[in-house]
Structure 1
């Protein structure tokens, strides 16, 4: 089988497509023929070495952490799945950019029946990431939520999941994507290139999917006791305490329950990913370059 791998930490030149042995199914695992994989900022960041202290694997390393595909074999003790089922999941942070995948049955769910494999592959990372963030912020009915980078792969799904929970969503995005974000269901859409701190505020939760510059502008947007939940970099907890608010950083983790809930929302017409472009796996370098450029509306997906 083929896998998109890196041979060292570095730039695009360390990416190769290798023929590798097919994995063997163990107890509690499933074998999956991969149809599509989402491409995320973490993929090029891992390639570049930004997370080398956290990746305990020898080179060559297979990149990728979300997928959709078809079950081809069940390991001993697996129930709830059958050969031929369409499934999706996020097993992070590495190991997915390949023709064939073996993973724990506890980490995957049946893919939304209403979505294509390409669409399903664009969802898992956003779903598990948003689940962790919304749990930390206790997002629910009536929560006043602000989302930075609302047009991106995580932000665009976050809007839809927040609305499904009954939150009031304000989305910060660039002028070029304001109509797109509005179409996702955001209650209020704000141009992030403006002095928005002067016009909005008093939020229960601010979700930072952008980075430190957004964090620095977020403290005054929170109501007393509100919380900044960041996905990108550790927040300044001393600054949070000084301002009478809270701050935390969250990470997505494999969560079959969250995936199953999201599949039900998708099949009910309440959740839909946006695909900006697809690339064949042979063009993984170009796909990661487009993601690294920071102008993706929704997701970039690799096909196999």
Structure 2
């Protein structure tokens, strides 16, 4: 089968599609024939070499954590799903390999009918990350939440899931994405110098929690929250620990260890069923910035590294 691999550190040209052996579902797992899969910004950073000192990488490195497709193998002990079912879900963080013709999923849920394959293929990682962080921040009704980097793949989903919890959401993005953020239910503002003052003007009663999807502004985010314990980042911002800010990730210890400043958080697999419910209620969509054929994975990496994609980048076919 075809699978996307990174062969060495470098520019997008080191991303290749190779022929590899098919994986098979083990106990508690299913295998899908992949219709679409998500591109991971974290793996784009790994490929560039930006994380070489903190994320040990062995090449060739198989990519992809989330995917959607049709079940074609069911492992021992699995119930409630059968051959031919349409699902979306995640691999284990250690196994990866979802950017391929076939992928083994460790967590899954039925594909919502209202989502396209592209939306479903890029959903699981963003939904899990958003839920994991919102749970840690204990976001609930009546809270005010700032999402830094709200127009990206995780940020756009986090906005909607926070709104669904009854929170008021302020989102940062470039000015041309402000109408997009309003459509998701957030009050938009720009990032950069003056952020603290702009957010205080929008939330004179204060901000209860900050979800940082972008990095690079930890000190300002702590000032906005008033307490580093109310800020969680998912960006590879290694100044976070110095400010007392938790960096949430789900990577196994043998990949990141203590170098990222925190042990892995438990993955929020319950998020997938929440997403199915919200999608059915018309309260959760998965904005897709672009869909590239699997063979053009290098071009997808090139777009991702611009950091200007609105929503999730996915690979199809």
Secondary structure at 1:72 match in 2 = strand
Map Cα deviations across residues 249-269 of structure 1 (whole Å, 9 max, x no partner).
Answer: 212565432111111101110
Looking at structure 2, the residues matched to 54 and 109 of structure 1 have their Cα atoms a distance apart, in angstroms, of 32
Distance 1:24 1:181 in 2: 40
| Counterpart residue number, 2:293 | 280
CA shift digits 1:55-94 (9 cap, x unpaired): 6775322111111111011122210111111111122363
Change in Cα spacing, 1:205 to 1:234, as seen in structure 2 (3 Å) is farther
Comparing 15-24 with 147-156, greater Cα deviation is found at: 15-24
> What does residue 206 of structure 1 align with?
210
Q: CA deviation at 1:145?
A: 0.5
TM-score (norm 1): 0.89
Contact 1:204 1:226 in 2 (8 A): no
Structure 2 residues without counterparts, runs of 5 or longer: 201-205, 251-265
Identify the residue that residue 248 of structure 1 maps to in structure 2. Answer: 246
8 Å contact 2:4–2:297 — kept in the other structure?
A: yes
Query: 2: distance between equivalents of 1:35 and 1:28?
Result: 22
Contact kept, 8 Å, 1:43 with 1:288, in 2: the verdict is: no
Which consecutive residues of structure 1, in runs of 5 or more, have no partner in the other structure?
A: 241-246
Q: 1:249-264 maps to which residues of 2 (within 5 A)?
A: 249-252=247-250, 254-264=267-277
State the number of aligned residues: 294
Secondary structure of the residue aligned to 2:4 is: strand
What TM-score do the two structures reach when normalised by structure 2? 0.86
Contact 1:108 1:255 (C-alpha < 8 Å) held by counterparts: no
Counterpart-to-counterpart distance in 1, 2:228 and 2:17: 49
SS in 1 for 2:38: strand
Q: Would you say 1:190 and 2:202 are equivalent positions?
A: no
Aligned to 1:127: 127
Cα shift readout 1:240-296 (whole Å, capped 9, x = no counterpart): 5xxxxxx31212565432111111101110000111211101110001110110111
Q: How does 1:143-292 map to 2 (within 5 A)?
A: 143-186=143-186, 188-193=187-192, 195-201=194-200, 202-212=206-216, 214-223=217-226, 227-232=230-235, 233-237=237-241, 239-240=243-244, 247-252=245-250, 254-292=267-305
Give the CA deviation at 1:51: 4.2
The residue number in structure 2 matching 1:293 is 306
Distance 2:13 2:310 in 1: 26
Whole-angstrom distance in 1 between the partners of 2:225 and 2:269: 32
Structure with the higher strand share, 1 or 2: 1
Residue 230 of structure 1 deviates from its aligned partner by 0.8
Matches of 2:242 and 2:15, distance apart in 1: 40
Preserved contact between residue 132 and residue 251 of structure 1 (Cα < 8 Å): no
CA RMSD for the aligned pairs?
A: 2.1
Structure 1 residue 236 displacement after superposition:
4.3
2:274 aligned counterpart, secondary structure: helix
Provide the C-alpha distance between the structure 1 equivalents of 2:180 and 2:7, rounded to a whole number of angstroms.
38
Task: Name the residue aligned to 1:243.
Answer: none
Q: Which residue in 2 is equivalent to 1:97? A: 99
Residue 234 of structure 1 and its aligned partner are, at CA, apart by 4.2
Q: Is the 8 A contact 1:235 1:249 kept in 2?
A: no
